[in-house]
Structure 1
Amino acid sequence: MRFPFLPCLALLLPLWAHAAEPLNSVERAIVPVSAWGGTPADASKARRHAITRITLHHQGEPFKPGTDPQAYLRRLQSWSRASKGWLDIPYHYVIDLDGRMYEARHIDYAGDTNTDYDPSGHALIEVVGNFEEVEPNQAQLDAVVELMAMLAAKYKVSLDDIRSHRDHSDNTVCPGANLYRYVKEDYFRHKVALRLAGEQARSR
């Protein structure tokens, strides 16, 4: 891993710890399935797993400003079940254009994929938009960091295991070149490391 900022980390911790909300507030901010009008998955058909990785995806389709993210989630849930025969939305969390985080598939249930990797053990995050065509906005990037940090802390996921869909499958460009750049250049790992260090400083 490349973490050139680490020698300066101690200097940044007091400011970061003061400015950031506790990580448990991130989990409380996630919009639950019931709030966006979804229905629970059939637990008897679920493939249960333990989280060991965090994997980033994009929607892969345009998401225009003004699109209702809750209506999108309801359509995605219906399509996933009726057309694909999946248990539920393939991802565990979805992030909209404003950086709001939504619960999708229950985190205890392994996800689904159209590609050739086994998503068991992966906490799957989708960011709306097609990042082969557009750039992620700062609200989305910030939300990805917060959600990844919360998941890393809760499930003891190492920084090395924060990756993207295309890192696990050769037959996809997901999460799109413009979002993958932040994975490849270790932006998310750097920011998550700072966030976790700040949380540790807060708890001392």
Structure 2
Amino acid sequence: MPKYEEGSTSIESDISYIYDGIELDGEGVVDIKPRSYWGASGTISSGMSGTRSLAQLSHIVVHHTAGYSSNDVSYMKAVQDYHQSLGWGDIGYHFAIGKSGVIMQGRSVNYVGAHAKQPMNTIALCVTLLGNFEFTMPTSAQVNSLVRLLSFLCNKYNISPSNIIGHRDVPGPAGSTTCPGNRFYNATNALSAIRNKVKSSQTTSLTKNQKDQQVKTFVQNKLNYSKYDNIMPKIIGYGVETWSPLIYL
């Protein structure tokens, strides 16, 4: 497995991992499985990278793990075990996407990642695809989940899709790698196709909160219109047609 440099280790105590039900409408629901899904071990505070303000986030770096075993869950745990054997406090990635398309939570986004050296580790989120894509492509389920996840992350953290890069695109020595795999990287034309899909998804999709607000507004308007329809004829007293809100929707 590849080795990546950790950030600073100035953290004094662990931060609990909170799964906040990440969803994205449009292309589909983004279901991010919590750490318990893949049997994550606890973090080792002394080996964790420092925390950072989420306002610092400006990039998303896409990786591959350059390996795979029998299934998504067992391999995710194997990656964490390997990273912790290097003295790291946790798995280096923030998110991982399995062959089945399942999206799994890695280390907390509040922590500096361990995947691309500094300063990129501090300003970037890391998304990795489980598998080795030097000579093969990710599954269609992986690519679809990647687009949905990237769309969500760009929206949530105000990251431009233009700043979605491959590990090899990181400036400096950190970019001296073929990650996320020659076959995948070249087939996606340096991830430009992925970026374009994310941009398209952002312009045509609504987040769950936006959808919920639309429903709330619709219901409230319907209630208000119904009250108006019931009251106005009684106030005016004659020949008043019911005002239908349908023409305004």
Alignment of structure 1 residues 76-155 onto 2, 5 Å: 76-82=79-85, 84-113=86-115, 118-155=120-157
Q: 1:178 aligns with which of 180, 183, 195?
A: 183
Q: 1:74 to 1:19 in 2, by over 3 A?
A: closer
> How many positions carry a matched residue from both structures?
179
Q: 1:158 to 1:172 in 2, by over 3 A?
A: same
Deviation at 1:88, TM superposition (A): 0.9
Asked if 2 retains the 8 angstrom alpha-carbon contact of 1:130 and 1:176, the reply is yes
Q: Which amino acid aligns with 2:204?
A: G
**TM superposition score normalised by structure 2:** 0.65
Residues of 2 paired with 1:47 and 1:200: CA distance?
A: 33
Q: Rg larger in 1 or in 2?
A: 2
- TM-superposition CA deviations, 1:39-67 (whole Å, max 9, x none): 34245744112322111000112x36xx1
Q: 1:115 to 1:36 in 2, by over 3 A?
A: same
Q: Secondary structure of 1:160's partner?
A: helix
> What are the ranges of 5 or more consecutive residues in structure 2 without an aligned counterpart?
1-23, 215-249
Q: Which amino acid aligns with 1:148?
A: L
Residues of 2 paired with 1:138 and 1:18: CA distance?
A: 19
Q: Which amino acid aligns with 1:90?
A: G
Asked if 2 retains the 8 angstrom alpha-carbon contact of 1:163 and 1:183, the reply is no
Q: 1:151 to 1:134 in 2, by over 3 A?
A: same
Higher relative contact order (CA 8 A, sep 6+): 1
CA RMSD, Structure 1 to Structure 2 (Å): 2.5
Q: 2:27 aligns with which of 1, 12, 20?
A: 20
- TM-superposition CA deviations, 1:13-44 (whole Å, max 9, x none): xxxx99533xxx41xx1111012111342457
Report % sequence identity.
27
Deviation at 1:68, TM superposition (A): 2.2
Q: Secondary structure of 1:120's partner?
A: helix
Q: Does 1:196 align with 2:199?
A: no
**TM superposition score normalised by structure 1:** 0.78
Residues of 1 paired with 2:32 and 2:145: CA distance?
A: 10
Q: 1:20 to 1:36 in 2, by over 3 A?
A: same
> What are the ranges of 5 or more consecutive residues in structure 1 without an aligned counterpart?
1-16
